[in-house]
Structure 1
């Protein structure tokens, strides 16, 4: 029997939670209100970050760096790892870091992949 324990992914800088949108296109954003609903609950399975809401995987577009939800596959742009010493969530594709987009919004902030730097808005 395989037991899955989902968790919230909370950004250290502002305590926002990684949230998979209910809307079409399934974009991923940082939401200021954390809750226990399935769209904010995640688990790791074979290197994939899977959303509890519908079993889709965190994915990122290599051309735009945008992060979104997609059917799970074995592509390296869907394989993730957490670095304990830095608190980064990185992709195996190019080792970029999961980050909120600095666009002036105060809620539902878009999530992108960026080069890693020692800043709190990239630490979970």
Structure 2
């Protein structure tokens, strides 16, 4: 009776083989789908919006890619995309760069020169650089030159990456004010957006 009620080992093995084959086909199909999604993501990331449009700080129109910024050559504000409301700022008589409440003064206007890869201040005309030969690596203003510590690039999530060392990014300190260069990690305090000034 037991033999007639329960399938034999051979039958069970055959069923397991069929299940295994079915799972294998499904896993292959899933891997193909994931690969296609990743390819689509990489393509879309190249033209991804560099700034979050939902902001109470500045104009609603954000630059969608670096080519647009290069063509328009607009000045605008640079701010943290998520979790912060301030804009990149510098005092007229101070080389230090920090985050302050947005007020759209000329010291909060910046131009990203896509030819030289420099970030120029609208008030002083000086460029953003960092102390790559020192500890701390603070951001500050200096006369524009061809040093690589004045050269920056954006990635698809808004990180401002040093051309001098592509493992280092501009980072906002937990005090929500200080800016310095730190190893890239992709958290919200390393994601910036550029918002062009409509009057530039």
Corresponding residue for 2:108? 40
Q: Which structure is higher in helix share? A: 2
Corresponding residue for 2:88? 18
Asked if the contact 2:92/2:124 (under 8 Å) is kept, the reply is no
Going from structure 1 to structure 2, the CA distance change for 1:3 and 1:117 (only over 3 Å counts) comes to: closer
Aligned counterparts, 1:91-102, within 5 A: 91-95=162-166, 96-102=168-174
Aligned counterparts, 1:50-65, within 5 A: 50-62=120-132, 63=134, 64-65=136-137
Cα deviation, 1:21-70, whole Å, max 9, x if unaligned, reads 2233x100011x11211111111222110000010000100113100000
Going from structure 1 to structure 2, the CA distance change for 1:110 and 1:23 (only over 3 Å counts) comes to: farther
Q: State which structure, 1 or 2, has the greater radius of gyration over its C-alpha atoms.
A: 2
State the distance in 1 between where 2:124 and 2:73 align.
14
Asked if the contact 2:149/2:162 (under 8 Å) is kept, the reply is yes
Give 3-state SS (helix, strand or coil) of 1:121's partner.
helix
Which of the residues 97, 104, 113 maps onto 1:28? 97
Q: Cα offset for 1:20?
A: 1.4
Asked if the contact 1:21/1:29 (under 8 Å) is kept, the reply is no
Q: Which structure is higher in strand share? A: 1
In the alignment, structure 1 segments of 5+ residues that lack a partner are none
In the alignment, structure 2 segments of 5+ residues that lack a partner are 1-70, 193-200
Asked if the contact 1:6/1:42 (under 8 Å) is kept, the reply is yes
Displacement over 6 Å in runs of 4+: none
Cα deviation, 1:77-96, whole Å, max 9, x if unaligned, reads 00011112x21011101121
Tell me the C-alpha RMSD between the 2 structures: 1.6
Question: What is the TM-score of this pair, normalised by structure 2?
Answer: 0.55
